[in-house]
Structure 1
Amino acid sequence: METVCHVITKLELGGAQEVALYAVSHLDRKKFRPLLVTGPGGLLTDEAKTLPGVDVHVLSSLARHVHVLADLAAFVELIRLFRRLHPTIVHTHSSKAGILGRWAAWCARVPVIIHTIHGYGITPAQPPWLRRTLILLERMTGWITTHWIAVAQADVEKGIEWRLFNRTQASVVRPGIDPHPFQTGIDAMTRDALRAQFGVGPADYLVGTVACLKPQKAPEDFVAVAKQVCETVPNARFALIGDGDLRPKIESLIEVNGLHARLHLAGWRRDIPTVMKIFDAFLLTSHWEGLPRVLLEARAIGLPVVATKVGGVEEAIVQGRHGWLSNAGDIAGLSAHVIRVLKSRDGQPQGRSQPVEALPKEFLLEEMVKQYEFLYDRFVDDRRGGKAPRSVWSASHP
């Protein structure tokens, strides 16, 4: 049995975190012993500790924000942990855990080092000097990486452009979802009660999103779109499910724009599949992405989507079929698409407005785990056969 250790910076509510949790809890126990390493304070940490058969290690020094001393302490803790647990595979997620975890695994002589790109931590919001530094750091870390996994083909192309890896060193494995909770019905009483919680009347339209309140998701743009749409569609209402560092700013924008009766800031909720079923449209205003699982969830419900053309969004949403796409920051374009969707409802809010298509197999959680296991088997078999798994370093230093 091979030990597989997944490392992620923080188990907050998010796509990368849910992918990591599902992976460690569904790996074939006849072949793999799963471990999970994370930093403290995540909303999903307690849930992770209850997963049967999964050893969870919380490192107090592993945190998202850059802090030299804490990062050095986390690096040393990771090396010691890997030397004690002897994993065959270390599989990292997220930027901080990806850098510290891969170098710690290399120092601990872990045979197979894999990293999943859930969208890059190198973003348009960063100054050019920082972007160049981070690209160089990722390129150097690529030297010791056995294999890269990307959630979107767009991330593979970006990695090749930045010379992080070549095409043979990366695979696309989609961040799958379980569509069943999103496809079960919701009774009228539950729907009406939830909509009332959000300040939505029977004749109102509800446009919603599920997103962390951070620069990546551009919640300011969500507020701006809400303002423009409400000027044209007076019975439009908006709901933002999520929380984060930008909450005070978003609360202020809601007040300044006079939207307190039209935009409900709901915070995090654990009944997302139920809440999304009361939406009439789904709006995602992100400025950068990997491949947002929430768009797959909206597709599973049959919600029309309005989103920005960033990262792998166009690999999940086909323009004119599943929804409508605009450039990041295009408030007028996003607003026009939302208005189009709402007016197409012909005064009939509450309910699906388009047929529900079965999601392709590549977007299902079970397929994601199968592809992970296929890659693990491939590199473990190489090791058993006396063939060292090849990283960029080993490829260039025979």
Structure 2
Amino acid sequence: MIFIGTYMKIVHVVEPFASGIATFVQSIVQNLRDDHHIVIHGERECVMRSAEVIKYFPEDNVQFIRWRSAQRSISLVKDTAALVELCQLLKNLKAKKMVDAVHLHSSKSGFLGRLACRLTNIPNVIYTPNGAPFLLSNVNAMNLLYKLFEKLGSAFGGKVVCSSRSEQTAYRKLGIRALNINNGISISENRNAAKLNPVSTARFRIVTSARIVQQKDPALFNDIAACFKDFDQFEFIWVGDGEDRHLLTAPNITITGWLPQAEVLRLIDGANLYLSTSQYEGLSFSVLEALSLRKTVLLKDCIGNRDIVRKGLNGDLFTSKQEAIVKIFQYYNNPAMLQVMGEYSGWLCHKEFNVDATCLLYRDLYKRVVINK
């Protein structure tokens, strides 16, 4: 927990108030306890109701305001309504002198939020994408549209803060100035939660934890698992749920659905290997949790993931299904190597992805944008 400096009022704007984005906002609120946080949020009931997300936040330094018009899909009519509502919410907070800095989370909030701040004359704005949307689609026209939105959004003002160096590089290639502050997690809290009731198995368990959506490439996860369906000693677990659940058809895959965080950590702690098939990431909290629990990680080579792996030291990157399969067999046949790699994962997480360092850097950035506004 961090206590520094002068009291500030931070407004967080977040449309997908679930999964990694919610974890990110919660970690800032939890660790910057001397500040007051106002979270303007949308609702993703298909993932987790906001009432359930709010339970993980402290009670003494945060308040929540529902952003009722916000929704995931791109729609001129609905997004215009969301913009008007957000402008009114920010205008009301500004009139009450409740805005020192505005922190926007994810691409939809980043675009509408920067425009709303420009329209309400709020210059002290930070935008954290937590995953660049222009890296997702295989359709070039869609990626060009996302790039256009990011460039247009940057013209409205604010500082772009990427959660990994490779994401920062992607934004700079677009001609968008961006800073980098690595995501971080509480290492000791994760280990303590996981050890309360460990979930063990005699089989070689391979786990991922994420929404089952296109970005996470469940089809690739399924293809990898299907190659092991005749080997009873292997099991695959997907912790989470989502709209592409139907793509996970291999008989050796267990889909748990959404679970309490402590249960997620226990499942990861009981795994032999953490596997990510994502097409892109900001910097995955689930992978960082695996590092904190001293797990070897096998990650698809993509933006965000490549910042976490030290090849051959705490895991490996792969570019194809065949590479992943070969690596899994290598890990299975070398349990001592898994142990050594896992220890390096824990050390790396403490050194480079510690939540205390992350929140100190964001607190300093909040102060700077207020001073320079």
Contact 1:88-1:110 within 8 A present in 2 as well: no
- Identity of counterpart residues, as a percentage? 21
Give the aligned residue type for 1:269. Answer: L
Contact 2:237-2:254 within 8 A present in 1 as well: yes
Q: How do residues 158-237 of structure 1 correspond to structure 2 at under 5 angstroms?
A: 158-165=170-177, 170-184=178-192, 190-191=197-198, 194-195=199-200, 200=201, 202=202, 204-231=203-230, 233-237=231-235
1:247 aligns with 2:255: no
- Structure 1 pair 69/326, CA: closer, same or farther in 2 (3 Å)? same
1:9 counterpart residue number: 15
1:267 aligns with 2:257: yes
1:394 counterpart residue number: none
Query: Counterpart of 2:324 in 1: which secondary structure?
Result: helix
Shift of 1:248: 2.5
TM normalised by structure 1 equals 0.83
User: Of residues 261, 268, 278 in structure 2, which corresponds to 1:276?
Assistant: 268
Per-residue CA deviations over 1:151-173 (Å, capped at 9, x if unaligned) read 111111111111122xxxx2211
Deviating above 6 A after TM superposition, structure 1's stretches of 4 or more consecutive aligned residues are none
Query: Counterpart of 1:21 in 2: which secondary structure?
Result: helix
Shift of 1:44: 5.9
Structure 1 unaligned runs (5+)? 383-388, 390-398
TM normalised by structure 2 equals 0.88
Give the aligned residue type for 2:270. Answer: I
Give the aligned residue type for 2:303. Answer: G
Shift of 1:17: 1.8
How far apart are the structure 2 equivalents of 1:117 and 1:285? 20
How far apart are the structure 2 equivalents of 1:108 and 1:185? 43
Shift of 1:332: 0.7
1:379 counterpart residue number: 369
How far apart are the structure 1 equivalents of 2:136 and 2:245? 21
Q: How do residues 1-398 of structure 1 correspond to structure 2 at under 5 angstroms?
A: 1-13=7-19, 15-29=20-34, 32-42=35-45, 43=48, 45-46=50-51, 47-48=53-54, 51-52=58-59, 53-86=61-94, 87-165=99-177, 170-184=178-192, 190-191=197-198, 194-195=199-200, 200=201, 202=202, 204-231=203-230, 233-250=231-248, 253-254=249-250, 259=251, 262-270=252-260, 271-327=263-319, 330-345=320-335, 354-355=342-343, 357-358=346-347, 359-382=349-372, 389=373
Per-residue CA deviations over 1:9-55 (Å, capped at 9, x if unaligned) read 12122x222111221333252xx431101112452622426632211
How far apart are the structure 1 equivalents of 2:351 and 2:50? 29
How far apart are the structure 2 equivalents of 1:26 and 1:209? 27
Contact 1:283-1:306 within 8 A present in 2 as well: yes
How far apart are the structure 2 equivalents of 1:130 and 1:226? 30
- Structure 1 pair 205/135, CA: closer, same or farther in 2 (3 Å)? same
Cα RMSD of the aligned pairs, angstroms, is 2.3
Structure 2 unaligned runs (5+)? 1-6
Contact 2:280-2:304 within 8 A present in 1 as well: no
Shift of 1:361: 4.1
Query: Counterpart of 1:122 in 2: which secondary structure?
Result: helix
Give the aligned residue type for 2:223. Answer: A
Give the aligned residue type for 1:178. Answer: S
Q: Which has the larger radius of gyration?
A: 1
Query: Counterpart of 2:135 in 1: which secondary structure?
Result: coil
Contact 1:304-1:341 within 8 A present in 2 as well: no
How far apart are the structure 2 equivalents of 1:98 and 1:124? 17
Per-residue CA deviations over 1:86-120 (Å, capped at 9, x if unaligned) read 12321101111111111011101112111012111
Per-residue CA deviations over 1:356-398 (Å, capped at 9, x if unaligned) read 543244411121111111011112222xxxxxx4xxxxxxxxx
Give the aligned residue type for 2:174. Answer: W
